[in-house]
Structure 1
Amino acid sequence: MQPRRCCLLLHLHLLLYLLLLSGTQADLEGTFTIRLLQTSIFQNTSFVDTEGLGLLEDIELGSLDKHTWTIRFYQPWVRPALPRGDWDTIENMIKIYLQKFNHLINKGAMQKDVPYPFVAQCMAGCEVYPNRTSRAFAYVGYNGQDFLSFNMDNATWLLSQDTNLSQYVQAVLQNYTAFSELVEVLFNDTCVDDIEMLLHYGKAALERQEPPVATVFARMPKPDQLLLVCRVTGFYPRPISVAWLQDGQEVLPGPALNTSAILPNADLTYQLRSILAVAPHDGHSYACRVRHRSLGTRSLLIPWENHSIAPTVGIAIAVLLLVATASAGGVWWWKRRKGEEATWEIQEFII
């Protein structure tokens, strides 16, 4: 096996063996992407910690056990796609590949005096569009930054950063044309059929829809500023639209509007928050509008009005008054009880 077949070789072989089943057509429509990821942490020349992950959209297909370099399946519909013997072949190829990959990277690090520890990352995959055309991609990262990318049109490696190390790796990879041909064949020629097979087996998982749950509340960090918070959670798939309406009109992006990134939940759904800064009692009405595939043509509309603060303050005051009353009553009862006990003691003494 030649050194040129670095991090992407694992991904390409996995894609070939895992996905390549003929005669399967999916009836899902849309754009779908498969990504194969690898992260290798080089602690020193003798110890490398490697993790691998395969994704169809945001669905985790499986991962690589970093201790045994074996495949762990996350979806029940992935493993039945191939016989046990084929999975054994894939795992053997993974082990051979990782040994070659670690040797190649360590060799380059020593030649270029790269300080340990460092992280090498690889991502390869393809995106299939509704008209059955596809776009392939391959990237290499170093310490969390873009390092190299593969141009599928002319089978060349492009520098994402111009350093002595990136030039060295580019030259090593570019010298092995067999690898470029392998990338082009697997990703450009078989990508559509491969993803269609996965869409067929994973149809139920990809079509899963969980409606969002939205709540609106307020915070007042300063007397002259009110923060309206719209928390949306529990939705799947990931794409969602969250907007604030002022008197029925959508609030445009600006310094007063701050929406978080979409974050994952532990139950494989998503969440986000959208915060709008307004002046207290400005006379406007506000509402948070949520649109999501699971809602169809409907939208969630959760209103907020400035006078909604008053009941909250009133409830707080009522609770404080109740506590004060209960405390006063307790003191009175305790004094009365003590008085009665003293009376009984005097009567017993007289008797």
Structure 2
Amino acid sequence: MQAPHRCLLLLLQLLLLSGTWADMEGSFTIRLLQTSTFQNTSFVDTEGLGLLEDIELGSLDKHTWNIHFHQPWVRPALPRSDWDTIENMIKIYLQKFNHLINEGAMQKDVPYPFVAQCVAGCEIYANRTSRAFAYVGYNGQDFLSFNIYNATWLLSQDTNLSRYVQAVLQNYTAFSELVDVLFNDTCIDDMEMLLHYGKAALERQELPMATVFARTPSPEQLLLVCRVTGFYPRPISVAWLRDGQEVPPGPALNTSAVLPNADLTYQLRSILAVAPRDGHSYACRVQHRSLGTRSLLIPWGNSEVVLIAGLGAGLLAAVAVAAITALWVWRRRKHQQMDESESRNSILSKGA
């Protein structure tokens, strides 16, 4: 139970920060990612990562299970005593988790090595409601999920192993209570503080950069490619317009998933298959939070248009060169005529 002064301090902080939360739109999620590789009954290699949206808050030292902070504002967001409590709860959780998984593996003769993964955390919404969640995976497959509301474990796959682990966890009430406190109480209670200290990082915006080019896999097909990169945050809308109308989803339209860049921005590609010289005009439209109410529109000109534009520019250049040359020849001839006239006048004056 929290000390009275700690509860009062938390209440005052939440009241002071309520304006910060009101100023921020949408929902926010904290996720703790755990990957435990069970090499044998005595050695487990565990990695952990904490995320606020897509911002890395910190990670676990795989040898000591201590927290390493990845952002300068994360540690000051909570008192040192709170971080010590969270760190101790995580260590107790991992010890119990490893023991239960190893016990189940030995009971069911599960071959080593194998991998257990967990995703857990909490989400808080704009109306200040919240939810917590916890999922367990086995060798890359969904295995179990934890119902926070009634503290029960649900099967994600129905196998002898999953039913056995479910029964063990359900009977081990102390472990379920630890998961409930860690993700349903601690996570949500500390969310406001993290949102306040991480406000600048969460509201960061980077403008998208977009280019349109074409590929020709066959004479009968033209692939228009719209590459959008360098944007943040992640949500974005990319669409193709044909003669000003949005192209609906279909087999001719293929848009990739949003992928991360090395500089903590994102990228994607949208490809539209069209028939060469089909007579339509195409443009790629990009909508993103950093653009506000505006849209980025990148038109595609077919090869004939580009070719005509190129010939026009070349013709203008040729005309300009011809005009300059003609002017130079005219001036040179005029000067020659003037020189010849002056020479004749000089000869006539001498003869006189």
Which amino acid is 1:48 matched to? V
1:192-248 residue CA offsets vs partner (Å, 9 max, x unmatched): 542221110100000100010000000001111100000000000000000000000
Within 5 Å, give how 1:43-62 maps onto structure 2: 43-62=39-58
User: Taking structure 1 as reference, are residues 83 and 287 closer, same or farther at Cα in structure 2, changes over 3 Å only?
Assistant: same
Question: Which residue in the other structure is 1:120 paired with?
Answer: 116
Question: Which residue in the other structure is 1:239 paired with?
Answer: 235
Q: Pick the structure with greater CA Rg.
A: 2
Which amino acid is 2:212 matched to? V
Within 5 Å, give how 1:73-88 maps onto structure 2: 73-84=69-80, 87-88=83-84
Verify: 1:130 aligned to 2:97, yes or no: no
RMSD of aligned alpha carbons: 2.5
2:290 is aligned, of 288, 294, 312, to: 294
Partners of 1:262 and 1:190 lie apart in 2 by 31
Question: Which residue in the other structure is 2:159 paired with?
Answer: 163
- Comparing 64-73 with 47-56, greater Cα deviation is found at 64-73
User: Taking structure 1 as reference, are residues 177 and 105 closer, same or farther at Cα in structure 2, changes over 3 Å only?
Assistant: closer
User: Taking structure 1 as reference, are residues 174 and 189 closer, same or farther at Cα in structure 2, changes over 3 Å only?
Assistant: same
User: Taking structure 1 as reference, are residues 194 and 90 closer, same or farther at Cα in structure 2, changes over 3 Å only?
Assistant: closer
Shift of 1:187: 4.2
Partners of 2:274 and 2:50 lie apart in 1 by 44
Partners of 2:49 and 2:305 lie apart in 1 by 48
- Comparing 65-74 with 122-131, greater Cα deviation is found at 65-74
Partners of 2:305 and 2:211 lie apart in 1 by 15
Verify: 1:260 aligned to 2:256, yes or no: yes
TM-score normalised according to structure 1 size: 0.78
1:236-292 residue CA offsets vs partner (Å, 9 max, x unmatched): 000000000000000000000000000001111100000000011111110000000
1:202 is aligned, of 192, 198, 204, to: 198
2:104 is aligned, of 104, 108, 114, to: 108
1:129-152 residue CA offsets vs partner (Å, 9 max, x unmatched): 111111211111111111001122
Which amino acid is 2:47 matched to? E
Partners of 1:220 and 1:120 lie apart in 2 by 45
Partners of 1:105 and 1:240 lie apart in 2 by 40
Question: Which residue in the other structure is 2:65 paired with?
Answer: 69
Bigger RCO (CA 8 Å, 6+ sep): 1
Verify: 1:307 aligned to 2:307, yes or no: no
User: Taking structure 1 as reference, are residues 309 and 266 closer, same or farther at Cα in structure 2, changes over 3 Å only?
Assistant: farther
User: Taking structure 1 as reference, are residues 225 and 238 closer, same or farther at Cα in structure 2, changes over 3 Å only?
Assistant: same
Identical positions, percent: 86
Partners of 2:118 and 2:280 lie apart in 1 by 50
Verify: 1:150 aligned to 2:134, yes or no: no
- Comparing 64-73 with 269-278, greater Cα deviation is found at 64-73
Verify: 1:174 aligned to 2:170, yes or no: yes
Q: Is the 8 A contact 1:73 1:79 kept in 2?
A: yes
Partners of 1:120 and 1:196 lie apart in 2 by 31
Question: Which residue in the other structure is 2:277 paired with?
Answer: 281
Verify: 1:36 aligned to 2:43, yes or no: no
- Comparing 152-161 with 231-240, greater Cα deviation is found at 152-161
Q: Is the 8 A contact 1:284 1:305 kept in 2?
A: no
Classify the secondary structure of the residue corresponding to 2:276. Answer: coil
Shift of 1:67: 3.2
Classify the secondary structure of the residue corresponding to 2:214. Answer: strand
1:290-313 residue CA offsets vs partner (Å, 9 max, x unmatched): 00000000000000022368549x
Classify the secondary structure of the residue corresponding to 1:237. Answer: coil
Which amino acid is 1:133 matched to? T
Classify the secondary structure of the residue corresponding to 1:283. Answer: coil
User: Taking structure 1 as reference, are residues 50 and 185 closer, same or farther at Cα in structure 2, changes over 3 Å only?
Assistant: closer
Shift of 1:80: 1.8
Q: Tell me, which stretches of 5 or more residues in structure 2 are unaligned?
A: 1-5, 315-352
1:110-147 residue CA offsets vs partner (Å, 9 max, x unmatched): 11111122110111111111111112111111111110
Count residues with an aligned counterpart: 297
Partners of 1:305 and 1:226 lie apart in 2 by 12
